[in-house]
Amino acid sequence: MKDRPGTVVQEDNAPAHSHSHQASIYNLYGVMKMLWPGNSPDLNAIEKAWAWLKRQTTARGCPKTRRELEAI
């Protein structure tokens, strides 16, 4: 907080981030924490692109040989 006053930490609700000791350290040093829902597809920009990406990468089918794979 000395070097970057006003910094806000963004974390999801993963067990490693929600441990009670972590909260006590944040409180001790005055770190602001923004709660963020874990695995929220509506807040994740890549989620809407997965179907398009799959169609693009599988349009030609699976490579049959190692040579075909290396040519990609």
Q: Closest Cα to residue 4, out of 35, 21, 29, 38?
A: 29
At 38 the pLDDT is 64
pLDDT of res. 72: 74
pLDDT score, position 30 = 84
- Examine the pLDDT at 15 and tell me if it is beyond 80: no
Q: Which residues contact 16 (CB under 8 A, 6 or more apart)?
A: 22
What is the tens place of the pLDDT at every residue in 17-67?
777 788 888 888 888 888 776 666 666 777 788 899 889 888 888 888 999
The per-residue pLDDT for 19 is 78
Region of 34 (left: φ > 0; alpha: ψ -120 to 50; beta: rest) is beta
* Domain ranges across the chain: 8-71
